[in-house]
Amino acid sequence: MGRRLELHELLCETLGSRNVYFQPPATISMSYPAIVYKRSDIQNIAADNFPYMQTTAYEVTVIDRNPDSAIVEAVSRLPYCRFNRHFNSENLNHDVFVIYY
């Protein structure tokens, strides 16, 4: 859990605010711009049929009213990050990334 909290702080620093949410329930009222993230995969590297190294992948979504948000560029420059897709929902722009942390 320590690594996830490190990622949380990195995302807060990148966003420039505390509007970063890990698997938020539907009852949460979010402020925008925001970053929402969740665990999406765990990759094991094995030797002798036993995992000796694990990397967790997180799906990170930048949500902003501004379609040209500087936050998208800042997140895209994080280590082990790749852009996945973009979509609009309820007049908000969503840019989805995968980060291995």
The strand pair at 34-47 and 20-22 is best described as: parallel
Q: Which residues of the chain have pLDDT under 70?
A: 1
The pLDDT of residue 52 = 86
- The two structure tokens encoding residue 72: 């998208």
Per-residue pLDDT reduced to its tens digit, 29-43: 999 999 999 999 998
The pLDDT of residue 97 = 98
Query: CATH number of the domain that 16 lies in?
Result: 3.30.2000.30
- The two structure tokens encoding residue 7: 């990622």
How many separate domains does the chain show? 1
Largest Cα–Cα separation, the chain = 51
Give the DSSP per-residue string, 36-67.
Answer: EEEEEEEEEEEETTEEEEEEEEEEEEEEES-T
Q: Region of 16 please: left (phi>0), alpha (psi -120 to 50) or beta.
A: left
The pLDDT of residue 84 = 97
Segments forming the whole domain that contains residue 89 = 2-100
- The two structure tokens encoding residue 79: 């280590």
